[in-house]
């Protein structure tokens, strides 16, 4: 049996070498994906789910018999082929950028060993996540502009413990309830994400590695490994607290662009240090929520930032002060103030959901 022509090679990123990459702003372009299987019921269910959830990224073509293959490849440039075992022999002379084998223990496996296997009988969301993650490593983002206009809101504070993440998630929840698609991007080194969301997908560290290596389609990887709960799309926490340190400010800019391309609203929860990465997000954001509470520590640090840091003057017109936990803006020189009450609940997740009821859709982000 001849081998399938495998037209890809997955390169592992080198984390030991720093590179400064040009920012690649992705445009939305569909990838043609073929599902070749004689299991009509399975193929229909799989194709419907992919079309429903990834229609902006994948164009699905279904093939249920060998006679259709020649016609399909004469009409379409197929990038991804998901091949069921009975169809493997028909792909011996067909060139596909990423051939993947639908694997089932119930079927004999005669495909070349170097091809990647995708478990057939699993959750469809997991199958699609695996496919997108693999393809993202052999593809390149297209650098020709922005596919859609997304509102970017940065949430930051110079003081810890003021409820910054709670405010970010409450804002995201209020926007999601208003009918908008929302992406929550947490860029904290030490993150509390596991308190609020499940962590069943790959870590955001995989995205960091791809950005640093300047290889692959970052937007597609994000789409593949992100998860969604309560109407909010998010990426799981990094494997190590210092993983984000491999990124340059240009990498951060590309990351924000890619996440923004996947939703109507992007909420970026920034780490406390006012470093080059934080400054880049503040520069990119259309709106900045500056969070404080009623503690003297928080007010003192915020006052120092406002009065002593030249960054504030550059972003002043975009800033809205969020006086959280029943705080007031007394003594602070700010033009826009939003007050949020002190909320008590059994869990942190309940707090942000309750706080979201006190936020009118877009009141903090417009």
Q: Where are the domains of the chain?
A: 24-136, 151-356
Q: What's the CA gap between 216 and 237, in Å, rounded?
A: 21
Assigned architecture for domain 151-356: 3-Layer(aba) Sandwich (3.40)
Q: Which two tokens stand for residue 254?
A: 């590309």
Q: Return the pLDDT at 69.
A: 83
Q: Which two tokens stand for residue 112?
A: 């070349």
Q: What's the CA gap between 261 and 117, in Å, rounded?
A: 30
Q: Return the pLDDT at 284.
A: 95
213 half-sphere exposure, CB direction, 13 A CA radius: 20
Query: What Rg value do the Cα atoms of the chain yield, rounded?
Result: 23
- pLDDT tens, per residue, the chain with 366 residues: 334 444 433 333 333 333 444 554 444 568 899 999 888 888 899 999 888 888 878 899 998 888 888 888 888 888 999 988 888 887 776 778 888 998 887 777 777 788 889 988 888 888 888 888 888 888 765 433 344 578 999 999 999 999 999 999 999 999 999 999 999 999 999 999 999 998 867 899 999 999 999 888 899 899 989 999 999 999 999 999 999 999 999 999 999 999 999 999 999 999 999 999 999 999 999 999 999 999 999 989 998 998 877 889 899 999 999 999 988 766 665 667 788 888 888 788 888 898 898 887 556 555
With CA atoms as reference, report the closest residue to 60 among 89, 80, 85: 80
pLDDT in tens, 55-78: 878 899 998 888 888 888 888 888
Q: Return the pLDDT at 6.
A: 41
Start-end of H helices in 30-150? 40-53, 66-75, 124-136
| Model confidence, pTM | 0.78
Q: How many CB atoms lie within 10 A of CB 184?
A: 29
- Helices 249-260 and 276-284, axial angle in degrees (round to 10): 40
Q: How far apart are the first and last CA of the chain?
A: 62
Do 24-136 and 151-356 share a fold? yes
Q: Return the pLDDT at 74.
A: 84
Q: Does domain 24-136 have CATH number 1.10.3720.10?
A: no
Whether the Cβ atoms of residue 268 and residue 155 lie closer than 8 Å to each other: yes
Q: Return the pLDDT at 10.
A: 35
E strands along the chain, which residues?
5-6, 31-36, 58-63, 80-84, 95-96, 98-103, 116-119, 151-156, 182-187, 227-229, 232-234, 265-270, 287-292, 319-323, 337-339
């Amino acid at each position: 049996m001849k081998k399938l022509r495998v037209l890809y090679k997955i390169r592992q990123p080198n984390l030991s070498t720093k590179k400064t990459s040009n920012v690649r702003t992705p445009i939305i372009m569909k990838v043609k994906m073929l599902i070749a299987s004689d299991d009509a019921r399975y193929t229909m269910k799989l194709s419907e789910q992919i079309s429903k959830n990834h229609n902006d990224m994948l164009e699905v073509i279904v093939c249920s018999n060998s006679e259709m293959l020649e016609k399909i490849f004469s009409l379409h440039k197929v990038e991804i082929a998901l091949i069921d075992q009975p169809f493997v022999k028909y792909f011996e002379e067909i060139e596909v950028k990423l051939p993947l084998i639908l694997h089932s223990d119930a079927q004999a496996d005669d495909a070349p060993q170097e091809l990647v296997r995708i478990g057939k009988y699993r959750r469809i969301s997991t199958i699609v996540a695996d496919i997108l993650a693999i393809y993202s490593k052999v593809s390149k983002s297209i650098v020709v502009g922005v596919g859609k206009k997304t509102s970017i809101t940065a949430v930051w504070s110079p003081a810890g413990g003021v409820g910054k993440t709670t405010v970010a998630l409450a804002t995201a929840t209020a926007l999601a309830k208003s009918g908008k698609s929302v992406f929550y991007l947490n860029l904290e080194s030490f993150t509390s994400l596991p308190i609020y969301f499940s962590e069943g997908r790959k870590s955001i560290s995989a995205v960091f590695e791809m950005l640093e290596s300047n290889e692959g389609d970052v937007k597609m990887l994000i789409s593949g490994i992100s998860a969604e709960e309560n109407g909010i799309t998010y990426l799981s926490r990094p494997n190590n607290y210092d993983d984000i340190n491999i990124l340059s400010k240009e990498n951060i800019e590309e990351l924000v662009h890619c996440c923004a391309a996947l939703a109507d609203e992007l909420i970026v929860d920034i780490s406390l240090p006012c470093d080059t990465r934080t400054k880049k997000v503040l520069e990119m954001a259309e709106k900045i929520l500056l969070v404080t509470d009623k503690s003297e520590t928080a007010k003192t640090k915020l006052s120092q930032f406002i009065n002593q840091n030249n960054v504030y003057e550059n972003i002043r017109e975009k800033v809205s002060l969020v006086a959280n936990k029943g705080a007031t803006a007394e003594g602070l020189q700010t033009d826009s103030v939003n007050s949020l009450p002190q909320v008590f609940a059994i869990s942190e997740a309940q707090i942000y959901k309750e706080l979201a009821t006190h936020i009118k859709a877009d009141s903090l982000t417009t």
